[in-house]
Each structure stands twice: as structure tokens, then as C-alpha cells.
Chain A
Amino acid sequence: MTDMHQDTGLTGTDAGAADAIDAGTAEAFLSHDQSLRHAPGPYFGAYGGRWMPESLIAALDELQDTFDKAKADPEFTAQVAELNKNYAGRPSLLTEAARFAEHCGGVRVFLKREDLNHTGSHKINNVLGQALIAKRMGKTRVIAETGAGQHGVASATAAALLGLECVVYMGAEDTRRQALNVARMQLLGATVVPVTNGSQTLKDAINDALRDWVANVETTHYLLGTAAGAHPFPSMVRYFHEVIGDEAREQILEQTGRLPDAVTACVGGGSNAIGMFHGFLDDREVALYGFEAGGDGVETGRHAATITLGRPGVLHGARSYLMQDEDGQTMESHSISAGLDYPGVGPEHAYLADIGRAHYEPITDAEAMEAFKLLSQTEGIIPAIETAHALAGTMKLGRRLAADLAPGEQPSDRIIVVNLSGRGDKDVATAAGYFDLLPDDSVEQEIAEEGEQL
């Protein structure tokens, strides 16, 4: 596997986004007063589209049509707003992290607190929206894929709330390692199906969900968990997450009187990042940074740094950057964070990378875990390990900004807003194992060794 990974390595024409970036395009785009916001799809530059079996095209058309009408229907937007407010707990806070900021070169750092949402992450925004869409289509059943279980739990939650049957596909290995999240989904009334096909990982869970969808499309909506997949999923999932960036923009203006210098987020499939970025896409003075999972280090081949090292291809319905070997076979990704452990990425990110509007950098497991500990101990907030990638990236970025000040400027003149996409309760066992905090003979130690997340 290692040399296969290195096929998409750092050299030659396979190097991915770095080769393709054309900063001039973004410039041209913006100087012509063209907005990057609300991109409707199906295409984002050369990315996106519908690389899907014909059998599912009618369902995608129905979904698109329902979604387009819903967006324009005040009753629907009011329903979403009501659930966001009185169920999910929005707006989420914007918290300045002064002690953490000392480790970011002294720039000011603000945390967009998606961790405070019901179910503990940004995922709730998307599942509530899509479950409402499912009901509008008259579907009685939703299916979802999940890696560690975050999106599965969120989907089961929305299904319980709205009275929908829910089936969650999860890699067999993950169902064993994440036994408590399986129990959580079951407590919420969902059925969890262990996936034993292929590499038995998240991408195979998506494959099985798609197979279920083909066979049951009349009654079933596929509640995809990230801003990837075939049109209209990337733009629809983004739409339900746009609230993150919209709130953050308003809150930072209110708290500091100006826009931030940079906005950061972690990128798995890209949903929390695109929701955050969207609020600032047309503010070209605001730099956008997405941090991908660098795993053991991108040079090792064991990572999930799709934009950094992948090359364009099609997977799960969209053309985007993809971790693939020279035969076009999808490669296995690796990350300490299950939520970032995906070999693909949403097409809008591929586009934003190519035109230079957003920048994507890898963060290793070790860097992420360091930031995980740091935020916990400086701010009293335990982040999700996914989120810790954004925090580690923010530390690096803050130091770069601080090193690059004009004469007379202070580090505190620079502002970064981080999307704190989720809380770390689910990651306590992994982290305790990682930092060797558990007694050798404890049950928890055994669990942590298996990668369980409590």
C-alpha cells in the first residue's frame, strides 16, 4: 500500500492542488463583482456533477426540486429556523480564547462554538434540514453512513424527532470499536447495519448506503453527512450549514467591530468548513484555511490529506480531489480522527483550492493531539479530535501572521475565527489512551487500545 500511496505523492504532475492553483482566477472572479456565495451546483468549476447510476438520477432530481422549492418557501425556512433555535440551541456562541491565543503567536482567536449544539457538533444543522426535506418528499425512511458514529447519531436524532425510520450503515470494524455510539443510535431508535464489504470503512458504508438507496428509493431519503456526493448534495448540505458562517460573521463584527484576518476549519468531507467559509467567501480580505488530516505525516502515505496530495477523480457521485492510485482505485485514508478519515472531499473545496480562494494544509495526528490538550487546558473546552486539526492549524497560522506584521502593528491586531466543529466527549478514551492517562489494568485502557470512543 505504501508505494501506491506514494504514487499520488509530492512530485510530478500528480501533485494535485498545488499545481492547479491559479490565484488569478479568484482575483478575476471577485474583481468582476461575481459572488462566490450561494453557488448552486451542479458544477463548481471543473468539479461536482452527477457521476451516479441512472437508477438514482430521478431521486436526485426529485431531491433538487424539493430543495429548491423549500428554500423559497417561508414556511420551510421558518421551520428550519425554529428547530435551529429551540432544538439545536442556535445561535451558537462566539467565544474569545485568550489563553489559547498565547500559543497562536498572540493573535486574537475566537471559537465558533458548534460544540454547544445539541448532539455536540455542527452535524445537527444538516440532519435537521435534510430530515425536513425527506418529509416534504413524503419519504418515511432515512439512511445514513457513519464513520465513528457522529453523523449516525445526529441522523438517528433527527429521525426520532421527526418520526422517520432510520438505518445507519457503519463499517463492521467501526461498529466494534465504537460500540457505545452504536448503542447511542439504537437508543434513539435507529438500526445499525455493520458493513463487511470492501475495506469496511466509511467509504464502504457510503457504498452500501447507495446500494440500499437504489433498491428503496421510493420510500427512502439518503441523508448524506457531508458536503460531498452527487448534485444537489454539496450545495444542499452547505446551505444547511451556512448558518455557521452567517452567525460568526455577525458575531465577530459585533465583538470586534471588524472582519477577521482569517477563518479556519477542519476538512473531512468539508461540511463544517464550507458552512463557515460561506459567510466570508466574498470578503476577500478574509483568508480561508482548511486543515486536512495529515495522519502520520503526508510523506508516510498514511494520511487523509485529499486536497494536498490527491488528484481529480470521481467518487460517490462527484468529481473532486481524490486519494487514488495510478489505476484510479480509491486508496485507504488514515487519521486518528474518524470524522476526517475519508479519501474524498466535497467538490466546492476542490474549486476554492484551485482558484486560490481557500488554502488547504495537512495537520498530523501528533499536532492535532497537542492542540487538543492545549485547548482543554487553556480554555476548559475539550474539542473533538477532528476540530483539534483546525486548532493546530490555527496555532501555525497565528504564528505566521504574527511573524509577518507591518511596523507598528501588534499580534493582537490580527484576528482568527476557528470553527470549533464539535466537542470531544466522544474522544475521551482515545485521548486518554494517547496521553497514557489510564491505569494499565483498567477496562478503559483496553477500550482505548482498540480505539473505542466513549
Chain B
Amino acid sequence: MTTHLPDRQQPESGAPASKAAAAIEKARSEGRAALIGYLPAGFPDVRTTIEAGIAMAENGVDLIEIGIPYSDPVMDGVVIQEATVEALANGFTVPQIFDVVEGITRKTDAAVLVMTYWNPVMRMGVRDFAERLAAAGGAGLITPDLIPDEAAEWLQVSEELGLDRVFLVAPSTSPQRMQNTVDASRGFVYAVSVMGVTGARTSVGAAAQAVVDAAHDAGAERVCVGLGVSSSAQVREIGAYADGVIVGTALVAALRDGGVQAVADLTRELSTGAAKVSAGGSA
């Protein structure tokens, strides 16, 4: 299935190369899966998000995903909902996302993606948002409620600016949609591990591998798995078949309960799962 690779996830000449792809390829060259950490912006405040982002980068995360707190986060479970409600209550405003991205990219080499529901982007204007994101050093967008079918403007603008477009694929995704979504993505494809919302789970189940295989078969060079991953053991298990592993809720809970130090500690622990030779399976 992967005989002809048009390299769709590479930019057209002229636009900057994919930062997300570069980060994942660097991990691959070191013989490991990429580790991707998520935190919502402004929880509990913007400065802490920047510090926690830097702490993640310094402790083994390859890509950072910063979420925009949104009033109606239908893909999020309770932990992330509570964090984003608090961020909004503490006065987070959408333009501050660019401060967060810039604050992290100035201090680290990690690729920083923004995870956002679509309405805040639409409200600012897709081009405005994208230009400001690029200026802040951001890699691109992960869009949980934007499917390629509705993404015409974003496809065009992201292509021009060389920003990554990370669309989601799920266990329910049909072969036709898998092909379209893989074709439309840039940087990597986000494989949703289970039918459900964000939240730590003890097991991500067999569905995840099937989704990753289907995405690879459709020509995706980089497929990362998210939803439910919370331990280095899970990172190791998923890293065996995926190109990257995304951890969200567990990091948010760590920040909530133990501050930036707890994020640093958990990141270091998770990164042992992504390491090439797991030192005797220590976890």
C-alpha cells in the first residue's frame, strides 16, 4: 500500500518545512517514538503554561500541544474541561495563545502546536489567526472539530504559511475518509485511540493499532496516538507501532495537583516509555 509515496505531508516548495514532521523524524532517527505533551493555555495562568511547556521540553517531550480553552469542548473529558473552565474564569483570552507559543518556542526547540476547537479561529479569521501563530513560532493546528471537508480556507492558508494541519482519524473512520484525511494532513495524523473523549484510561485497547495501521496503509508517514494515554507503559506499548504518543489528561492532572515540578517529573517518567532501549522495562 505504501509503494507510491507522494510525500503529501511535506510542504510545497517555498513554504517552511513541517516543524512537527521534523520533530517526529528526529525522534525516529534516535530510534524512538515521539512524545507529545498537551496542556491547556492559561491553566491556571499564562505564565505557568509557558513554564510547564518549557519543563515538558526539557524533560523529554518532542512536541508540545497547547489547547485553547473553549466554552464548548465536546471532545474533552472532565479533567480537561475543569482546567479550561478555570482558565476562562481566570481571564484567559484567545490572543494570549500566541504569547504562550512564543514564550515556549523562544526557550526550547520543541515544536509547538495549538489544539483548538474551530470557532475561536473562525472568529478571529483563519488567515489572521494563522499569521499570528506562524509569527509566534507555532508549528500548526490540531483541530478536533474541524474535518477536512469543512477546511478549505485552512488548507489554503496553512499551505501558504507552511503550518501543520493535524486532523483526527478514529476507529469509526471509513477507508475513504481515512484516505482523504491522510491526504489533507500535514505534519502528522492524529489517531484517536478509542471512541470517546479525552481522559486517562488504563488501557487504550486494540482499536488504536488498527487505526494507526489503516493510516499508514493510506500513506501517512507519521501517525501519533492520543486519548487515554497516561503511563510510560502505555507510551511503550503504543510507541511500538505508532510514530508518536500523545499524553494530555495525565499531564493536566499533574499540573493541577503538583504544579510545574509534577509536570516535569511525569514527563521524565513518560519519556522512559518512548526511549529506544527500555532499561530493563523500568517504568
Partner of B145, one of A53, A198, A217, A218: A53
Known: A215-B195, A215-B196, A328-B124. A55 touches B168 (CB 8 A): yes
Partner of B172, one of A57, A197, A316, A324: A57
Whether A324 pairs with B123 at a CB distance below 8 angstroms is yes
- Chain A 181-199 interface 0/1 with B at a Cβ cutoff of 8 Å (1 = within): 0000000000000000111
- Chain A residues contacting B195 (CB-CB under 8 Å) are 55, 214-215, 217-218
Whether A198 pairs with B71 at a CB distance below 8 angstroms is yes
Whether A313 pairs with B123 at a CB distance below 8 angstroms is yes
Known: A55-B168, A328-B94, A329-B120. A50 touches B196 (CB 8 A): no
Partner of A214, one of B88, B121, B150, B196: B196
Answer whether residue B47 sits at the interface, using C-beta atoms and an 8 A cutoff: no
Answer whether residue A51 sits at the interface, using C-beta atoms and an 8 A cutoff: yes
Answer whether residue B5 sits at the interface, using C-beta atoms and an 8 A cutoff: no
Answer whether residue A330 sits at the interface, using C-beta atoms and an 8 A cutoff: yes
> By DSSP majority rule, is chain B's interface helix, strand, loop, or mixed?
loop
Answer whether residue A72 sits at the interface, using C-beta atoms and an 8 A cutoff: no
Whether B174 pairs with A58 at a CB distance below 8 angstroms is yes
Known: A49-B150, A313-B122, A328-B122. A55 touches B174 (CB 8 A): no
Interface residues contributed by chain A, number (CB under 8 Å): 36
Shortest CB distance B130–A (Å):
15
Answer whether residue B197 sits at the interface, using C-beta atoms and an 8 A cutoff: yes
Segment touching B, from A28-36, A79-87, A203-211: A203-211
Whether A53 pairs with B75 at a CB distance below 8 angstroms is yes
Answer whether residue B134 sits at the interface, using C-beta atoms and an 8 A cutoff: no
The residue in chain A whose Cβ has the minimal distance to the Cβ of B74 is A210
Whether A55 pairs with B172 at a CB distance below 8 angstroms is yes
Whether B150 pairs with A54 at a CB distance below 8 angstroms is no
Q: Total A-B pairs in contact (CB under 8 Å)?
A: 112
Interface residues contributed by chain B, number (CB under 8 Å): 40
- Chain A residues contacting B85 (CB-CB under 8 Å) are 197-198
Whole-angstrom CA separation of A315 from B21 in the bound complex: 31
Partner of A54, one of B74, B78, B147: B147
- Chain A residues contacting B174 (CB-CB under 8 Å) are 58, 61
Whether B196 pairs with A52 at a CB distance below 8 angstroms is no
Chain A, range 9-68, C-beta contacts under 8 Å to B: 49-59, 61
Partner of A314, one of B94, B122, B172: B122
Partner of A57, one of B77, B93, B144, B147: B147
Shortest CB distance B195–A (Å):
6
The 4 A-B residue pairs with the shortest CB-CB distance in the complex, in nearest-first order: A328-B123, A328-B120, A58-B172, A55-B170
Q: Can you list 28 residue pairs at the A/B interface with Cβ under 8 Å?
A: A49-B149, A52-B145, A54-B147, A54-B168, A54-B169, A54-B177, A54-B181, A55-B192, A57-B147, A211-B196, A211-B197, A214-B75, A214-B196, A214-B197, A215-B196, A218-B195, A312-B122, A313-B123, A314-B122, A316-B74, A322-B119, A324-B119, A328-B94, A328-B121, A328-B122, A328-B123, A329-B88, A330-B119
Taking Cβ atoms with an 8 Å cutoff, the residues of A that contact B are 49-59, 61, 197-199, 203-204, 207, 210-211, 214-215, 217-218, 312-316, 322, 324, 326-330
